[in-house]
Amino acid sequence: MRIILSVVFLLFPLLAFAQVRRTNPSALSKPTGYTHVVEVSGPVRTVYIAGQIAYDTDGKVVGAGDMKAQAEQVFKNLQAALTAAGAKFSDVVKMNTYVTDMDKAPAVREVRARYFGDTTPASTLVQVVHLARPELMLEVEVTAVVAERPRVVPARR
């Protein structure tokens, strides 16, 4: 009986990981750089990353007037925030993007594609009048889900 229980407890963590399913229903248009539906099941930890802007580590704006340079900094900041939470871009299930000029959105999409690859989140992209400072052109917030890691209980001696 102990052997059976030991095997069950050893295998359970392998079965308990989060499952993320991304689908693009045929009844909807073909998306460019995002996924229409992202479903998450299983034991997960949800990570909310606040809107990231083009600030460097000293709080200075990077790329004033240059959407691509700002996008590079924003996605670099997102990567740092995700890493700090034990997550990666493939764990992101939802992304909201705010731009001050929709005509410059292709520069954002180009940078976004490098970070996400084929594992794209559900996404919203909107144009806003302005952001926190006049030189900021882009802000991106994301939500990620990460499989809960099983807790290791130390053996009794």
Dihedral of the alpha carbons of 49, 53, 59, 60, in degrees to the nearest 10:
160
pLDDT band with cut points at 50, 70 and 90 for residue 12: very low
Among 153, 124, 148, 140, smallest CA distance to 54 is for: 140
What is the reported pTM?
0.78
Distances (CA, A) of 132 to 37, 41, 155: 30, 36, 52
Tell me the C-alpha distance between 64 and 66, whole Å: 6
pLDDT in tens, 57-67: 999 999 999 99
pLDDT in tens, 26-41: 999 988 888 899 888 8
Question: What is the assigned CATH class of domain 2-147?
Answer: alpha beta
* Domain locations along the chain: 2-147
User: For residue 3, is pLDDT > 60?
Assistant: no
